[in-house]
Every structure is written in C-alpha cells, then in structure tokens.
Structure 1
C-alpha cells in the first residue's frame, strides 16, 4: 500500500465525549462556543455508546486549514504526540509557548451546524 499525500486530507474530526449530565452540560457549552466561532460541521448528539465509541458523544468535523488555530503546537508535539515506534527527542525550545494572537472573531454568516 502506498502512503497517501497530506494534500488528500479533506477534513479532520474530533469526538467530544461525556459520561454524566454535568459533563453533557460542559459538552453543550463547548459545542455552542465552537459553532459560533469556527466553520465546522457538528454531528448528532449520541446519548450512549455507538459504533466504536464507548461513551455518549458528538463529533466536530473541520477543514485542514482550521487545524492550526485549534491546536497548541508546543503541547501537540511535546505532550499529546502519538508515536509509532520509539519516540525521538524533540527540540521543544523552538516551539512557541503560546500561539500568535488570533484576529478578531469573524461572524458566522454561513452556518454549517448540523443537528
């Protein structure tokens, strides 16, 4: 099997899990904030396990160009990395502590919210 080119990546997605009514309330607040701020597609609320997912959840799908504004580069490389094989040392000192300041929020004039 040939490796696929990164240019073939059409979208990313994340699953927001919750296990209690309190966590569901936090998930709902996050969902609302994400929908207001980013051009994303929100999946259905799943109130229990579904498919490979062992907990209630919903999905957030987003375009590749949005990834950089969602993920902290330093944390992504040094704390949250997933390695196949033995991890290699990284030069974390060259990664910024914080992302550059974001521009003012853009009104969502083309909502993509799904149920």
Structure 2
C-alpha cells in the first residue's frame, strides 16, 4: 500500500497518433477543449522523450478525473491514450500508476530514469 503522503497534483493524458489518425486526434482534442477546462499541450509530430509515437498532452486536475477519463473512454475513437497521475515520480507515474485506453505502447522509461538521476 502506498504512503498516504503521496499526493496526486494532476493528471496527464497523452493522445498518440500517426499520419493516418491525425484528423481523429484533432477531433478528440477539439472535443476535450470544448467540454472541459483542460490544458491542451502542443502537437508533437515526432516521438519525444519517453513517447514512442507523435502525441499531444492534455493536463487536468484531480477533480476533473471523473469527467475527463470516462469521456475519453467513450470518445477516444480507437486512438491509444496513456493516462497517468503527477506525483513527482515520473517513472512510477508512467508505469505502475498509469492506465491505457487502446493499445499499451512501449515507453522509453530509461529516458525518465536518466532525468530522475540528473
């Protein structure tokens, strides 16, 4: 069981896409922006950091989880989406504490470990 002192300060959803699914990703993004007060990150057209595919990030607060995640569950249109908390431990947040919609992609966790040790 986790320590009670660990706090979730927010959540990130990483919406993955490729050339063929970019329009779908844009629709999902528009839906999120229209329905929720979330922070829509910029489009990353190439894999970045630990992420193996192009993606954009959506940041939202813990009190939005019960609205944003069910909406994504029903409206991700076949896209792969990583959802994880922000606790200050990026490795754990992207692995043990994460959930996936669609296919679970292989992340470059070594990248996150290197950041943690620098």
Q: TM-score, normalised by structure 2?
A: 0.54
CA 1:63/1:23 → structure 2, altered by over 3 Å: closer, same or farther?
same
Contact 2:14–2:58 (Cα < 8 Å) also in 1 = yes
Other structure's SS at 2:33 match:
helix
Q: Name stretches of at least 5 consecutive residues in structure 2 with no aligned partner.
A: 74-95, 97-118
CA shift, 1:25, in A, is 0.4
Alignment partner, residue 3 of structure 1: 3
RMSD between superposed Cα atoms in Å: 2.1
Alignment partner, residue 43 of structure 2: 45
User: CA separation in 2, counterparts of 1:32 and 1:39?
Assistant: 12
After superposing on structure 2, the runs of 4+ consecutive aligned residues of structure 1 that deviate more than 4 Å are none
Q: Any idea what the Cα deviations from partners look like across 1:12-57, whole Å, max 9, x if unmatched? A: 011000022x311000111111001101001110001111111000
Q: Any idea what the Cα deviations from partners look like across 1:54-79, whole Å, max 9, x if unmatched? A: 1000000000011011334xx8xxxx
User: CA separation in 2, counterparts of 1:27 and 1:56?
Assistant: 11
Number of residue pairs the alignment of both structures matches: 71
